[in-house]
Every structure is written in structure tokens, then in C-alpha cells.
Amino acid sequence: MSKFRVNVCLYPPADAYDSDSVAAALTAAMAPFDMNLNEDFNPDATWDWWRIDAGEGVRFAVKPEHDGDPRLIYGDPEYERETLRCDGGPRGLLDFGAPHRDTIACSALLTLDGEWLGLKPYSNAAGHDSSAARDAYFEQSTAYLEKLDADCVVVRLLCHC
């Protein structure tokens, strides 16, 4: 069993922007990749639990003018928040500028259309081992996130498999 992080992309909430609507959207987006759906082996399954948690030192940078915006997403409230950092929020509030590029990509990306890119622990872990494959994925992932509309939501999850 291991842990990894995935950036989940969501369309902006249609109604009120609150933690319940974001949680419901995350649950729906992640559902097809649940290892617990049935007893048959599913090579596309990627997790048996997940939580909002970008990881200390690699959380998303927040543009200073958006510090404190209620649309920013934070995981466990017991962890001390890092200044100008969050676990997710609307793309337009996040700073993907050059000094922060190393915090954009992570092991996997779930696109707006439900496509899982990057690490799938039970189907392509071996293919993710080469530095060329990792570099190509990070370029693809970073480019995708940078091109998202400003109101699309990006949330980083910690997954267990």
C-alpha cells in the first residue's frame, strides 16, 4: 500500500460555492476510480481512501490579492496553514508563476472530462518509473492546469492505494 497525490479539476459549482458542493463534486469525480466498488480487480482503480491534502511545502501558491478568499480550499483544519498556500481553489486565485512551477504537478491529474492522467498504481506504475515518462507527464499536467479557465476549481488530494 502506498500514498500519492492527484490534482482533481472540477467545473465551477453551479450554485453556492461552499465546502459541501466542492466535497460532492470531488466525490463524484473520484468515484470511478474507487478500489472498493466491487470485488473484481479493476486496473483503473487508484484509491481506497482520499482526503484533501496538497502536502506540506508543496501546497498551491495563492496570488497575494486573493489571500483570505472564501473560495480557497483547505484540508484538515487541525494543520497550521501556510501563508499564501492552500490545497485548492479556483484556478484564477492560484499562482502558477515560475517560482511556483514545482508545486503544480504531482503524481496524477484528473481532468474536467474525467480522464485520469499519470500514475495508476495497478496498471502503469512500471511505465511511470522512467525519467522521460515522468518529465512528459509533468509537462502535460502543468500545461493542462495552466490553460484551465480561471473559474475552474483545482483541488489536490492525498490518495491511498
7-29 per-position pLDDT tens digit: 999 999 877 677 788 999 999 99
Q: What is the pLDDT of residue 14?
A: 78
Reply yes or no on whether the pLDDT at 118 is more than 80: yes
Question: What is the rounded distance in angstroms from the CA atom of residue 49 to the CA atom of residue 35?
Answer: 9
126: pLDDT confidence band, cut at 50, 70 and 90? very low
Residue 12: is it exposed, middle or buried by C-beta count within 10 angstroms (0-12/13-18/19+)?
middle
Q: Beta strand pairing status for 153-160 and 88-90?
A: antiparallel
CB 103 within 8 A of CB 58: yes
Of 99 and 36, more confident: 36
Contacts of residue 71, Cβ cutoff 8 Å, sequence gap at least 6: 17, 89, 90, 93
Contact 138, 109 (CB under 8 A): no
Cα(first)–Cα(last) distance of the chain, in Å?
A: 5
* pTM beyond cutoff 0.75: yes
Count helices and strands (H / E) in the chain: 2, 8
Residue 125 has pLDDT above 60, yes or no: no
